[in-house]
């Protein structure tokens, strides 16, 4: 065991993974391992709700949680496990609505139609989003999280992006202007395209929360040098047949 | 509320998010929302351990859970919440080691130095990995998950990739050959580079688990059309100064 640790540290100190191993505290150290906000840096609050889309949360969280002194809090209507749309995973909401008086960044993930429809009909969630938005520096969404922001009344007349198949919905229902870009800023409203787009959006945001050199290093920290194997992820270029199959795969993946 | 649902469905049926809303079952339907394996498709088991890296798990899970009839199970030494390396989030292990007799795909995520060192010293985890590996079609890792596979004795003489800063470690300790590519296949061993690389690896794997047309549609389903804002995610091209800052940001992000 000592040998293992030494091997990691020696390489680490030689420019590898680093001395973090010696410094890391076991998460069992605090109650349920919850890491309370330090208050030293930006506080990012991410909403969880039943049937959210996992990567919409995890992509931005992975990037933003590495920003200097950043606090990240997972917040839901109730604390405890919240199941994602496919039912294959649950994340834990460490905080309930109202546990934090102020957030610098609010991020609302997308989810299945059932998930975003239910969240967008939950008056406690919508009231909380409106209250938090009054004091945020950035209010953001990933994928169909834009639907929930729209239900809270935050998209009217705004330039936004969302999941490629949901563009017409946000335009028709909320009077927003759908811009099919990876992420779109309109004032302090920052919206991301579908699912994986949250990573690009979060890296862009990380520069605003810190500085360019830090954001460039964060992109390296998560080794974000993507190599899409098929190059078929752009909906504007995709044939209808592939779009239909993509939507069918999503439908079929739900419980 | 009906209006909301109709608006989604109407657009959906017109080529938008689709009829999934009408078909989605609330996850509250089953105990803790856990979705039991259907047995109809490939069974992907993802290991969780304290101080794992969130995106290493969520990236592949998001892609693979949309593959036709795929079952995905989150498995840990004990069931229940498992905290990620930054302490900002926890995922729920729905299953304990040994709950599933056979897995088609085993995926081991990376984690902080403390996380992978501890997991790589846990004989229950290592024995389980060796036992599961005997019957898998694919045994895979993301990022420093390769360290855990190496501790289980599965990397000796293999061509592998891992987190950019960990390449020297796996070569020195396990006699593996580090190949700085996005993902590397050696027989049934499939290793991914750091953190975000799990998405590329999972899309590549999804073709093996289904077919090319399905994999191309999965790339669109998660709107994987990445636009790295800085283009600084490649470690081979990165100056030492940026590498040092990236590793410092990771160390500083730990509890």
CB distance A222–B33 less than 8 Å?
Answer: no
- Whether A84 is catalytic is no
What confidence tier does A101 reach under pLDDT thresholds 50, 70, 90? Answer: confident
Name the pTM for this structure: 0.90
**Most A-contacting residue of B15, B51, B62, B70 (CB-CB within 10 A), to test interface:** B62
Distance, in angstroms, between A135 CA and closest chain B CA? 22
Distance, in angstroms, between A134 CA and closest chain B CA? 24
Number of Cβ within 10 Å of residue A130's Cβ equals 13
Burial class (CB in 10 A: 0-12, 13-18, 19+), A134: exposed
Q: Is the ipTM of this complex over 0.95?
A: no
pLDDT of residue A152: 98
Mean pLDDT of B74-86: 97
pLDDT of residue A190: 98
Residue B18 has pLDDT above 80, yes or no: no
pLDDT of residue B25: 33
Of all residues in chain A, the one with the smallest CA distance to B57 is A58
pLDDT of residue A32: 67
How crowded is the C-beta side of B248, counted as CA atoms within 13 Å?
12
Number of Cβ within 10 Å of residue B248's Cβ equals 16
Top pLDDT among B81 and B31 is at B81
Quote the mean pLDDT of chain B: 90
What confidence tier does A24 reach under pLDDT thresholds 50, 70, 90? Answer: very low
Catalytic residue among A47, A72, A143, A176: A143
Top pLDDT among B5 and B159 is at B159
Name residue B52's beta-bridge partners: B84, B111
Nearest CB to B255; choose among A27, A164, A242: A27
What confidence tier does A125 reach under pLDDT thresholds 50, 70, 90? Answer: very high
pLDDT tens for B91-137 read 999 999 999 989 999 999 999 999 999 999 999 999 999 999 999 99
Nearest CB to A114; choose among B21, B81, B118: B21
How would DSSP label each residue in chain B?
Answer: -HHHHHHHHHHHHTTSS-THHHHPPPGGGSGGG-----SSS-EEEEE--TTB-HHHHHHHHHHHTTSTT-EEEEEESSSEEEEBTTSS-EEEE-EETTSSS--SEEEE--B-HHHHHHHTT-HHHHHHHHHHHTT-SEEEEETTHHHHHHHTT--TT-EE---GGGHHHHHHHH--EE--SSEEEETTEEEE-STTHHHHHHHHHHHHHS-HHHHHHHHHHTT-----SS----TTTS-HHHHHHHHHHHHHH--
Catalytic residue among B64, B132, B143, B155: B143
Burial B32-65 (b: 16+ CB within 10 A, else e): ebbbebeeeebbbbbbbbbbbbbbbbbbbbbbbb
Mean pLDDT of A75-101: 96
Number of Cβ within 10 Å of residue B236's Cβ equals 7
Taking CA B66 as the corner, what is the angle to CA A44 and CA B155, rounded to the nearest 5 degrees? 85
Report the SS3 class of residue A106.
strand
Positive or negative, the Cα torsion across A168, A171, A174, A178? positive
Residue A19 has pLDDT above 60, yes or no: no
Taking CA A128 as the corner, what is the angle to CA A170 and CA A93, rounded to the nearest 5 degrees? 95
pLDDT tens for A35-50 read 999 999 999 999 999 9
Nearest CB to A88; choose among B24, B35, B164: B35
Within 8 A of B27 by CB-CB distance, chain A residues are 50-51, 83, 87, 255
pLDDT of residue A69: 97
pLDDT tens for A187-215 read 999 999 999 999 999 999 999 999 999 99
pLDDT of residue B254: 97
CB distance B91–A94 less than 8 Å?
Answer: no
Residue B233 has pLDDT above 60, yes or no: yes
Distance, in angstroms, between A221 CA and closest chain B CA? 5
Mean pLDDT of B130-146: 98
Query: Do B83 and B94 form a contact (C-beta atoms < 8 A)?
Result: no
Top pLDDT among B32 and A44 is at A44
Q: How far apart are CA A245 and CA A243, in angstroms?
A: 5
Q: What does the radius of gyration of chain A's CA atoms come to, in whole angstroms? A: 19
């Amino acid at each position: 065991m000592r040998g293992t640790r030494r091997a990691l540290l020696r390489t680490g100190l030689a420019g590898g993974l680093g001395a973090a191993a010696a410094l890391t505290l076991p998460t069992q150290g605090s109650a349920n391992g919850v890491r309370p906000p330090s208050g030293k840096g930006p506080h990012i609050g991410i909403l969880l709700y039943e049937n959210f889309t996992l990567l919409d949360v995890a992509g931005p969280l992975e990037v933003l949680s590495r920003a200097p002194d950043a606090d990240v809090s997972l917040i839901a209507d109730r604390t405890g496990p919240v199941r994602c749309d496919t039912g294959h995973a649950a994340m834990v909401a460490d905080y309930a609505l109202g546990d934090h008086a102020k957030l610098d960044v609010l991020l609302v993930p997308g989810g299945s139609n059932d998930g975003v429809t239910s969240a967008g009909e939950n008056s406690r969630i919508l009231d909380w989003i409106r209250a938090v938005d009054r004091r945020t520096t950035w209010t953001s969404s990933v994928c169909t999280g834009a639907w929930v922001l729209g239900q809270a009344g935050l998209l009217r007349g705004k330039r936004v992006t969302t999941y490629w198949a949901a563009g017409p919905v946000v335009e028709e229902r909320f009077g927003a202007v759908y811009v099919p870009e990876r992420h779109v800023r309109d004032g302090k409203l920052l919206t991301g395209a579908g699912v994986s787009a949250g990573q690009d959006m979060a890296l862009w945001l990380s520069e605003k929360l810190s500085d360019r050199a830090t954001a460039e290093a964060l992109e390296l920290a998560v080794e974000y040098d993507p190599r899409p194997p098929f190059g078929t992820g752009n909906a504007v270029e995709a044939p209808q047949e592939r779009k239909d199959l993509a939507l069918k795969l999503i439908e079929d993946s739900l419980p």
